[in-house]
Structure 1
Amino acid sequence: MFTTLLVALDGGRQHDPLLDLVAHVAGPRSLVHLLCVLDPEFALPADASDADRREYPAAARQRAKAEGLLQDATAQLRERGVDARSLLPAGDPGEVISAQARELGADLIVIGHRHLSRLQRLLDSSVAQWTLDHAPCPVLVETRGG
């Protein structure tokens, strides 16, 4: 049974199948860390001032969207009896996922898959593929929500 799960969420897709899978594999003593990675070019710290939020509206929108996503996902898992916490760092998604998994001592990473075409993979790297190649623990890929 997995005890420490790291679940990577992105803001552009449907997460219900991913959360269904997590609820299914999480045991009664599991701790699920929900992770949404902010683009470092637009990242504002959580304690940013109102002036900073007005000065950088795109960054404020990105943070607000990610915080809402994490709150919703955390609530959905908790309703199912899963102990869930959220993380909102900035950086390269693949690198952050692997680093957080190491830091947390995760024994499973759960991630979605966007089903990129070959051309899209050449132009826009796959976070799922990068994570599979560099993860410090097993990776479970949910393919239905992509």
Structure 2
Amino acid sequence: MSTFNRILLCYDGTREGQHALKDGACLAEELHAQVHVLSVLNHSAWVQGADVMSAVPVDVINDSAKDLLQEGLKKLAARGIQATGHFAVGDPLEQIPFFANDLKVDLIVVGHRRTSRLARWWAGRSDGLLLDRVSCSVLVTMGPEVAADPAIAGASDNVGTAPPVEHS
């Protein structure tokens, strides 16, 4: 029996999210695991860009983020993987642990975006590590620049999506 029976794939449409979806799909196929996909609409983007974001109806932003989740689910279905989708609004570092615990997953798969120390300092990241907030394993993907799998590749970077979670 596999160690990883339930996998949570964190998908936001970015290159890093595509890597997480692709690598998580490969692993789920190998392990015959139950798959959940989580897309988090990061509310901090609304706070930081309040002037711009206030001009865009919240329903439009939510619908766009939900469409992105459906896109991820379709990409998995094209590979023969049936997954359950979950959508949340909030801080990814709060929502990912919440869903991981609620769904009782064994593994979380996230994409990683490299940032400099200065960029992390400038962003004021004081929220801790994802690893400190979960009790299951975490796979951080570091895929190539563009996803090679045509069933997974091709997602566009969408406005209003959550940035990948920083891990270190």
Normalising by structure 2, report the TM-score: 0.68
Q: Which runs of 5+ in 2 are unaligned?
A: 47-53, 146-163
Matched, 1:121 2:120: yes
Q: Secondary structure at the match of 2:20?
A: helix
Deviates more, 1:84-93 or 1:57-66: 57-66
Encode CA deviations 1:55-79: one digit per residue, 9 max, x unaligned.
9734223212211211111011111
Matched, 1:80 2:79: yes
Amino acid at match of 1:119: L
- Structure 1 residue runs of 4+, over 6 Å off? none
Aligned CA RMSD, in angstroms, stands at 2.5
CA distance in 1 between counterparts of 2:43 and 2:117 reads 27
Answer whether contact 2:9 2:36 (CA < 8 A) is retained: yes
Q: Which runs of 5+ in 1 are unaligned?
A: 43-54
More strand by proportion, 1 or 2? 1
Identical columns (%): 34
Q: CA deviation at 1:126?
A: 8.9
**What is the aligned length?**
132
Normalising by structure 1, report the TM-score: 0.77
CA distance in 2 between counterparts of 1:123 and 1:3 reads 39
Answer whether contact 1:30 1:82 (CA < 8 A) is retained: no
CA distance in 2 between counterparts of 1:58 and 1:18 reads 29
Q: Which has the higher contact order (CA 8 A, sep 6+)?
A: 2
Could you tell me which residue of structure 2 aligns to residue 134 of structure 1? 133
Answer whether contact 1:30 1:83 (CA < 8 A) is retained: no
